[in-house]
Chain A
Amino acid sequence: MAEPILEVQSLCTHLPTKRGLVRAVDGVSFSVRPGEIVGVVGESGCGKSTLCFSLVRLLPDTAQHSGRILFRGEDLLAKSREEMRAIRGKDITMVLQNPMTALDPVYTVGNQLREILRFNADMTPGERTRRAIEMLRQVHIPSPEERLENYPHQMSGGMKQRVLTAMATGLKPGLLLADEPTTALDVTIQEQILGLFAEIRDRLGTAIILVTHDLGVVRRLCDRVLIMYAGRIIETGETEAIFQEPQHPYTRALLASIPKMGEERTRLQAIAGQIPDLTGLPPGCSFEPRCPRAMEICRTTYPPAFARGPGREARCWLHEEAGAT
């Protein structure tokens, strides 16, 4: 098995706000191997976006980090601003949720593509243009030469997400972060973009962290899944294993909320209760107030990670008998 390209060790990201310290990411550990697609799943506000922005160190200066983020063996938390800038856009890239607003409206697509090449690669202007055309072709944009002259508003949402994906993968990054990349798109376009991601992984061997709350997307694309709740990873495992045998009650509830085939999409089975306030978490399990199987111990002590088979862990007292890892 290949060495992991990314290894996150007990990462904490705390954000001071007026209402108190928000523990957006609270002791998260995981690793990603080259060419692997890892899904990060959770409800809004569970800290998954903050996790992504922590990895590239793009949170406000007030954010407090601890732990280690080892990328190709080097700790990103120890890097200077300038070193991080050099890594971003070249070795680690990211695709955002809303392609409609992620491109600067007042410059042509070509201008923005060439600009990224200018600051991340050593090329002559002529090479940049050729490469920009090549990048658009790689994401299956027809007549890329003409598209270079387009402004963002002259493109559809799906087309823009392709352009953004081209920007994010054109320099063959080791790791691509995708923060809800398909949420804002039509279903058919979603399919195409997901296909594009799979293709990029196969062709470039790029590792992808796919942040989403859409379990359908996860099942379609991811090798492994991290389930996040209130800033922590509560269950991990191979995608199929998680779908077949969810171990944590929260994961079960998530899976139950997926609409069945043929069922109307609007009739979602939601999880009762609300996500906890990240400024003042209880000492016990953060899911306990909403958990259908809460026990006495859940109220007082946060569960450690219990092994649940090869590469599988769950933070739930129900699995105590298996023993902590």
Chain B
Amino acid sequence: MAAEPTETATLRPVEPAEPLSGPGRRVESYWVRLRSLVHGAPVLTGVMVAAFLVAAIFAPWIAPHDPGAASFLVALNPPFWVEGGSIAYPLGADQLGRDILSRLIYGAQLSLIVSFFAIVIAGSVGIVLGLTAGYVGGAIDSLIMRIVDAFLAMPFILMALGFVAALGTSVTNIVIVMAITNWARYARLVRGEVLSVKERDFVALARVAGQPRWRIVWKHVLPNVTNSIIILATLDLGRVIILEASLSFLGLGVQPPAISWGLMLADGRSYMTVAWWLTVMPGLAILFTVLSLNIMGDWLRDRLDPRQRIE
């Protein structure tokens, strides 16, 4: 709580009040800015996100086994710390004797591909439509926003299922479906930000100065919405990972031999009572990945969006 309410003082000092301590106003080097940005970052979370990225990108070099190689000798072997487990299959083996750890690592790859591309596409479409709606206004704005409303009104998973049923279950199609089901929130976010930025002095000034519209949008409006987009995108990575896993779990996502955490869960379900690790391991993989992404997103929000400091 601030000790002093701000006042419109008749006695305002000539110099703008500036804290004596704290960062100076001189131009900071890029490195200093980067350091101050990273300062206070949740380290463990960062490590987990990094682990996820490394696993996803370098899967073939990291995975101890071929994820598709079945060996009936080790079928349903438990994790190494459980009696009967071995360190060769550290997280156990599934019903066909495939290494769970290796499959989790390859599963990370699919999760990353789907969520990353889906958000890039959804974000781009959303940004363009949101900027257009917010900046042009009028009938175009109403039209776009009603479409956005319509997409937001559709039950998320049902809509995704409908599109998957229509398009098919290849990885590309899953990406497209995720993009279709996610773009609307970016459009709404960007439009809202544009409307609030638009009224500020510097944009009005640029208009008066006769700058072309697209230039104003590009130079003045977009940088102001970037932070919000980064925050939403980080949080969305997690959401899309869960959504993809949900589709796979229902058997309506990517099909074997593709490896998805959701598929692993669905397969392991029948063995739940005899081999819990088949369901628990992929579940934990999803949980920890999404959890770290969410913590990261929250941290970014605290860091980049001063209006949300209250969180």
Instruction: Indicate whether A and B are direct neighbours in the complex (CB within 8 Å).
Output: yes
Which residues of A pack against B, CB within 8 Å?
15, 19-20, 22, 24, 43-45, 47, 49-50, 59-60, 97, 179-180, 183, 213-214, 254, 257, 268, 270-275, 277, 279-280
In the bound complex, CA of A44 to CA of B16 (Å):
13
Inter-chain contact A19/B19, CB cutoff 8 Å: yes
Inter-chain contact A275/B17, CB cutoff 8 Å: yes
For window 1-33 of B, CB contacts with A under 8 Å fall at: 1, 3-15, 17-22
In the bound complex, CA of A270 to CA of B6 (Å):
18
Inter-chain contact A257/B20, CB cutoff 8 Å: no
Extra inter-chain contacts (10) besides given A24-B3, A97-B5, A280-B21, CB under 8 Å? A43-B11, A59-B1, A97-B7, A180-B5, A268-B10, A268-B11, A271-B11, A275-B17, A277-B19, A279-B21
Known contacts A50-B3, A279-B21, A274 near B13 by CB under 8 Å? yes
Report the nearest A residue to B7, measured CB to CB. Answer: A44
Inter-chain contact B13/A273, CB cutoff 8 Å: yes
Which residues of B pack against A, CB within 8 Å?
1, 3-15, 17-22
State the main secondary structure of chain B at its contact with A. Answer: loop
Nearest CB on B from A20, distance (A): 8
| 5 contacting pairs across A/B (C-beta < 8 A) | A47-B4, A60-B1, A273-B14, A275-B13, A280-B21
- Choose from B4, B8, B11, B21 the contact partner of A270 (Cβ within 8 Å): B11
In the bound complex, CA of A257 to CA of B105 (Å):
71
Please indicate the chain A residues that have their CB under 8 angstroms from the CB of B11 in the complex.
43-44, 213, 254, 257, 268, 270-271
6 shortest interchain CB distances as A-B pairs: A274-B13, A44-B7, A277-B20, A44-B9, A43-B11, A274-B15
Inter-chain contact B3/A213, CB cutoff 8 Å: no
Nearest CB on B from A100, distance (A): 13
Inter-chain contact A183/B8, CB cutoff 8 Å: yes
In the bound complex, CA of A257 to CA of B12 (Å):
10
Inter-chain contact A270/B3, CB cutoff 8 Å: no
Inter-chain contact B7/A183, CB cutoff 8 Å: yes
Inter-chain contact B4/A274, CB cutoff 8 Å: no
Known contacts A15-B3, A22-B3, A50-B3, A272 near B14 by CB under 8 Å? yes
Nearest CB on A from B220, distance (A): 30
In the bound complex, CA of A192 to CA of B187 (Å):
50
